[in-house]
């Protein structure tokens, strides 16, 4: 009996040794480098493409994955930019920057990240240029490539040359300069228009502002934007990749500072900043700002901010801002005809109405001070959004608070029976049927009550007979808002 038991024990021990030896050999094989020349890498994409990148302005980061789909680790003998250190592209592998790497190990059934950026040098050409390079991978004698391509463009650059210790870095625009549309204009920091100077922008001018950049019109200075239909002057951030086209907050603002005078914006598109236009305090008896046929949209704070200012607007669309699309604060005089103010903000919750009218402020001692709203007129306008209350009336006792809605479509819970503030033909909570707010299409259809309901005598002027599509308005009847119903 003992012999059998010993025999059985011997066999069991032998099997255990064999099993452990097999596991050891399997483990060794699993952890040893795969050197077979048939083993290749795979990539999440075979090309990395950057859309238009301004010369001297770095791109955003793009990334791709390098996969080892084998059951053993694999060692990449060489990863390098073919253009080496002269390449405008820069790479980073799993957190380590460089232009070339050796003996990069990818574990079995695992991946590594490769990050790519590009910075282009100016070439003094007005047309876009194409820059190409490739990233070479050599593994077990196999050579594989991921192609890199960037479309670049030269531009006029405005960079700070004054760096105060207690304020933003800035530079001054050339006095009475005229910006042409032959190349884009890119602003860094604060670009100021000095007192007594005017900055004019021709039709089709493209203005790109870097992160936090501001176009600042000083006291006594003037901004004159003279776009045309199908040749608008465009203000936006300087990131041109498709994923940035609708992202708000990419730059600062157009700031018409206290005392700036006779500012004019015609046929412009202002998008993706923090504040579209801030008009701050009356500079003379003329309007601080006249703005017509202009779109302001996708702002992380306000679209149009007036502070004790004098603003005349006609045929404007101001839409999709995190706070007020139109904030008429600290008093002032304002008149808007044939405008569409709409808010369907989609970057989180919105806590405010889209229109605010305010006639007071709080001083440094915490005391409320009134500033009169001498006029806040809205004629043939659409003021509508995703909230039940889109009109904020913020008044302090004792201060003038004169506002009037003449044949407007309002999303509001206010009592509109007061004829001192609302015409009898005011529409309340009449859905204007915007075509598709999610893609910024605020055209309106025919057949709704607001179609042809406007008063053709409001703001009728040869300068404003076209809608935002460039279509000629009939002399009668008038549709509400910035667009003729289609």
SS (H, E, C) the chain: CHHHHHHHHHHHHHHHHHHHHHHHHHHHHHHCCCCCCCCCCEECCCEEEEEEEECCCCCCCEEEEEEECCCCCEEEEEEEECCHHHCCEEEEECCEEECEEEEEEECCCEEEEEEEEECCCCCCCCCCEEEEEEEEEEECCEEEEEEEEEEEECCEEECCCECCCCCCCEEECCCCCEECCCCCEEECCEEEECCCCEEEECCCCEEEECCCCEEEECCCCEEEEECECCECEEEEECCCCHHHCCCCCCCCEEEECCCCCCEEEECEEEECCCEEEEEECCCCCCCCEEEECCEEEEECCEEEEEEEEEEEEECCEEEEECCCCEEEEEEEEEEEECCEEEECCCCCCCCCCCEEEECEEECCCCCEEECCEEEEEEECCEEEECCCCCEEEECCCCCCEEEEEECCEECCCCCCCCCCCECCCCEECCCCCCCEHHHCECCCCCCCCCCCCECCCCCCCHHHCECCCCCECCCCCECCCCCCCC
Mean per-residue pLDDT for 56-69?
A: 86
Q: Can you give the pLDDT at residue 201?
A: 98
Q: Can you give the pLDDT at residue 465?
A: 86
Q: Can you give the pLDDT at residue 125?
A: 58
Phi, psi of 270 (to 5 degrees): -125, 115
Q: Can you give the pLDDT at residue 157?
A: 87
Query: Would the pTM of this model clear 0.85, i.e. be above it?
Result: no
Q: Can you give the pLDDT at residue 24?
A: 46
Q: pLDDT tens digit string along 347-377?
A: 989 999 999 999 999 899 998 899 999 999 9
Angle at 364 between CA 360 and CA 370, to 5 degrees: 15
| 332 DSSP β-pair partners | 309, 373
Phi, psi of 40 (to 5 degrees): -125, 165
Q: pLDDT tens digit string along 228-271?
A: 999 999 999 988 777 888 999 999 999 999 999 999 999 999 99
Q: Can you give the pLDDT at residue 128?
A: 59
Q: Is 55 left (phi over 0), alpha (psi -120 to 50) or beta?
A: beta
- Is residue 29 scored above 90 in pLDDT? no
Q: List Cα–Cα distances, 201 to 104, 185, 219, 368, 474, in angstroms.
A: 53, 10, 19, 40, 30
Mean per-residue pLDDT for 364-393?
A: 95
Residue 320's Cβ-side half-sphere holds a number of Cα atoms within 13 Å equal to 24
b/e code 323-360 from CB counts within 10 Å (16+ = b): bbbbbbbbbbbbbbbbbbbbbbbeeeebebbbbbbbbb
Mean per-residue pLDDT for 128-154?
A: 87
Q: Can you give the pLDDT at residue 17?
A: 43
Q: Can you give the pLDDT at residue 122?
A: 65
Phi, psi of 418 (to 5 degrees): -75, 110
Mean per-residue pLDDT for 372-385?
A: 96
């Amino acid at each position: 009996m003992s012999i059998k038991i010993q025999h059985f024990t011997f066999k069991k021990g032998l099997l255990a040794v064999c099993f452990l030896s097999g596991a050891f050999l399997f483990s060794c094989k699993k952890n040893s480098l795969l050197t077979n020349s048939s083993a290749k890498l795979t990539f999440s994409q075979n090309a990395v493409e950057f859309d238009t990148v301004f010369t001297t302005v770095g791109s955003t980061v793009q990334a791709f994955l390098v996969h080892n789909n084998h059951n053993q680790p694999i060692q990449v003998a060489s990863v390098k930019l073919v253009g080496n250190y002269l390449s405008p592209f820069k790479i980073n592998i799993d957190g380590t920057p460089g232009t070339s790497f050796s003996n990069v190990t990818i574990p079995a059934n695992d991946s590594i990240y490769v990050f790519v950026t590009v910075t282009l040098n100016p070439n003094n050409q007005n047309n876009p240029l194409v820059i190409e390079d490739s990233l070479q991978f050599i593994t077990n004698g196999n050579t594989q490539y991921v192609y890199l391509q960037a479309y670049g463009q030269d531009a006029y650059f405005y960079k700070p040359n004054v760096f105060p210790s207690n304020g933003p870095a800035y530079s001054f625009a050339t006095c009475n300069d005229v910006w042409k549309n032959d190349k884009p204009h890119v602003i860094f920091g604060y670009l100021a228009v000095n007192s007594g100077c005017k900055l004019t922008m021709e039709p089709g001018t493209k203005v790109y502002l870097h992160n936090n950049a501001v176009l600042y019109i000083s006291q006594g200075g003037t901004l004159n934007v003279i776009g045309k239909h199908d040749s608008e002057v465009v203000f936006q951030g300087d990131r041109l990749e498709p994923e940035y086209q609708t992202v708000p907050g990419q730059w600062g603002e157009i700031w018409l500072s206290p005392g700036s005078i006779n500012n004019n914006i015609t046929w412009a598109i202002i998008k993706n900043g923090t504040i579209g236009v801030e008009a701050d305090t009356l500079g003379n008896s003329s309007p601080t700002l006249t703005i017509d046929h202009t779109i302001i949209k996708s702002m992380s704070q306000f679209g149009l901010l007036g502070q004790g200012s004098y603003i005349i607007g006609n045929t404007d669309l101001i839409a999709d801002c995190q706070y007020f699309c139109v904030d008429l604060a600290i008093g002032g005089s304002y008149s808007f005809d044939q405008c569409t103010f709409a808010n369907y903000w989609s970057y989180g919750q919105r806590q405010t109405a889209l229109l605010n009218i305010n006639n007071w402020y709080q001083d440094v001692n915490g005391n409320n001070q009134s500033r009169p709203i001498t006029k806040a007129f809205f004629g043939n306008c659409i003021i509508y959004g995703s909230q039940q209350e889109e009109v904020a009336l913020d008044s302090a006792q004792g201060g003038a608070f004169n506002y009037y809605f003449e044949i407007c479509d309002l999303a509001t819970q206010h009592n509109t029976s007061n004829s001192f503030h609302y015409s009898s033909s005011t529409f309340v909570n009449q859905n204007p049927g915007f075509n598709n707010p999610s893609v910024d299409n605020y055209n309106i259809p025919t057949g709704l009550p607001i179609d042809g309901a406007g008063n053709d005598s409001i703001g009728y002027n040869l300068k404003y007979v076209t809608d935002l599509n460039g279509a000629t308005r009939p002399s009668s009847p008038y549709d509400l808002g910035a667009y003729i119903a289609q």
